[in-house]
Amino acid sequence: MSAESDMEYSDNDGDDYDYYGEQDDCDMEAVDRTKSDPEYFLYTCLRVEEVEKLLNESIELLSNSLQITPSLAKVTLHAYEWNAQEIINKYKENANEVLVYSRVKSRSPVLQASTSRSSCAVCANTPPMHKYSALACGHYFCNDCWAMHFEVQIMQGVSNTITCMAQDCELRAPEDFVLSHVTKPMLRERYQQFMFKDHVKSHPELRFCPGPNCQDCPKCQICIEKNGGCNHMQCGACRHDFCWVCLGDWKSHGSEYYECSRYKEDPNMSSDSQHAQAREALKKYLHYYERWENHARSLKLEEQTLASLKSRINQKVMAGEGTWIDWQYLWDSAKLLKRCRYTLQYTYPYAYYMENGPRKELFEYQQAQLEAEIENLSWKVERAETTDRGDLENQMDIAEKRRTTLLKDFLEFHTTTASSSKV
């Protein structure tokens, strides 16, 4: 399969090398798609640092031109969807209105800060006066309670919209107020992360990559999406071949030994502490689970391939390009691929429960062989119409032989042990 990077990628490092040079590629049309296709938008793919830079420029612009803190600038930008110019204009007209709209100032008159406080309304404790604080609304609570409030909110994923603790008060706590109460580094970091996500979501010109499996190419770092079942990935931008499971170079996967299906146990484990052993056990479990899950996901994508292949065959038949029988081998190859993928998926739980020894080594060897051939098959099925029929049928045969060999060797073994243990 190929990792589609159907996006322009602007890299401002000064060199004029055209990453693409592939405007004439496949389905790119000469017509202006922004006009003909309402769902088509021109866009640029940005890295996290580039997004941060972009956001910081707006924040700086606003805080400089209005002489407000960056923290306050963030709140207003968030409220006005990052339209700095609109904020500047409105602020000059009526600063109060901007602050009220951004929920950093109350519309109603501020409560008079009384000179004595009997106790904090939240914890009912009576700390000294200087240990109270309030937002612009004047609802004073003790600093411990603010800290707890922020902790709970941050843990729930709230960041920009954390409100005052008073009932029905909708004032929002700006970043500097929150950070002056939160000391734990883990929480501060989490808060900043959520702030960033929230800022991106509130920015009309930014979108997170919508692909659920969106990942970066290990070589050129461009955003890629796994759009088929095959685990042999090829980056659409730099044409780097790599393995989806381990992100390593595909070169190490094609040859004699397929390494990334096997779990390598640490030989020094037995002497280590219980704690380390537990961690190792979890690592082992995750190794097998991740591979099982990955093949389960691939299987779903393989089903899509099957469906689209069927409709393409129908099209061909309708267009008079041969009969169904002529194209049936394509259909068979996709069906076989599904069957192989299913078997492969369930070799992982099987391997997890196997005891170490020569038998497991054999199993893992066969599993690796099967996996390599299945990925080859998958690669060819996805390119079925341009692959030579003989080549594809040969690959089908190899994969199916590997599959039946593995099943014969181990299913029989398994059923005999199962029946004998039943007695």
Partner 1 sequence: MAALPRRIIKETQRLMQEPVPGISAVPSETNARYFHVIVTGPEDSPFEGGLFKLELFLPEDYPMSAPKVRFITKIYHPNIDRLGRICLDILKDKWSPALQIRTVLLSIQALLSAPNPDDPLANDVAELWKVNESEAIRNAKEWTRRYAMDN
Q: Which is nearer to partner 1, 162 or 372 (CB)?
A: 162
Q: Near partner 1 by CB under 8 A, which window of 17-25, 145-153, 305-313, 394-402?
A: 145-153
Told to check if 123 binds partner 1 by CB under 8 A, we report yes
Q: Kind of pairing, strands 132-133 and 232-234?
A: unpaired
Least distance in Å: CB of 102 to partner 1?
20
Residues 334 and 362 sit within 8 Å (Cβ to Cβ): no
Q: Residue 348 is which amino acid?
A: Y
Least distance in Å: CB of 372 to partner 1?
51
Least distance in Å: CB of 140 to partner 1?
11
Residues 63 and 70 sit within 8 Å (Cβ to Cβ): yes
Least distance in Å: CB of 261 to partner 1?
43
Give the residue, chosen from 75, 99, 134, 145, that forms a contact with partner 1 under the rule CB under 8 A: 145
Residues 155-184 that bind partner 1 (CB under 8 A): 165-169
Residues 197-226 that bind partner 1 (CB under 8 A): none
Binding-site size for partner 1 (CB under 8 A) equals 18
Q: Near partner 1 by CB under 8 A, which window of 143-151, 192-200, 274-282, 333-341?
A: 143-151
Told to check if 121 binds partner 1 by CB under 8 A, we report yes
Least distance in Å: CB of 120 to partner 1?
9
3-state DSSP assignment of residue 397:
helix
Q: How far is it, in rounded angstroms, from Cα 96 to Cα 69?
A: 16
Give the residue, chosen from 7, 100, 136, 148, that forms a contact with partner 1 under the rule CB under 8 A: 148
Place of tokens 């502490």: 273
- Burial of residue 254 (CB within 10 Å: 0-12, 13-18, 19+) is middle
DSSP 350-409: HHHHSPSSHHHHHHHHHHHHHHHHHHHHHHHHHTTTTS-HHHHHHHHHHHHHHHHHHHHH
Catalytic residue among 145, 230, 243, 340: 230
Q: Near partner 1 by CB under 8 A, which window of 36-44, 69-77, 121-129, 351-359?
A: 121-129
Least distance in Å: CB of 274 to partner 1?
27
Q: Which is nearer to partner 1, 183 or 328 (CB)?
A: 183
Q: Residue 238 is which amino acid?
A: C
Q: Which is nearer to partner 1, 161 or 394 (CB)?
A: 161
Told to check if 149 binds partner 1 by CB under 8 A, we report yes
Q: Which is nearer to partner 1, 164 or 351 (CB)?
A: 164
Q: How far is it, in rounded angstroms, from Cα 23 to Cα 35?
A: 18
Least distance in Å: CB of 181 to partner 1?
13
Told to check if 259 binds partner 1 by CB under 8 A, we report no
Q: How far is it, in rounded angstroms, from Cα 241 to Cα 257?
A: 17
Structure tokens at 252: 């190490």
Q: How far is it, in rounded angstroms, from Cα 415 to Cα 221?
A: 47
Q: Which is nearer to partner 1, 180 or 294 (CB)?
A: 180
Q: In DSSP terms, which residues pair with 234 in a beta bridge? A: 241
Structure tokens at 184: 């734990």
Told to check if 151 binds partner 1 by CB under 8 A, we report yes
Q: Which is nearer to partner 1, 121 or 296 (CB)?
A: 121
Question: Torsions phi, psi of 243, nearest 5?
Answer: -95, 130
Least distance in Å: CB of 182 to partner 1?
13
Q: Which is nearer to partner 1, 44 or 125 (CB)?
A: 125
Cβ contacts of 324 within 8 Å, gap of 6 or more: 313, 317
Q: Which is nearer to partner 1, 100 or 122 (CB)?
A: 122
Q: How far is it, in rounded angstroms, from Cα 381 to Cα 246?
A: 22
In the 3-class helix/strand/coil scheme, how is 249-267 assigned residue by residue? ECHHHHCCCCHHHCCCCCC
Active site residue 230: yes
3-state DSSP assignment of residue 363:
helix
Q: Which of 406, 378, 371, 372 is nearest to 392 (CA)?
A: 378
> Would you tell me which residues interact with partner 1 (CB under 8 A)?
121-125, 139, 141, 145, 148-149, 151-153, 165-169
Active site residues: 230
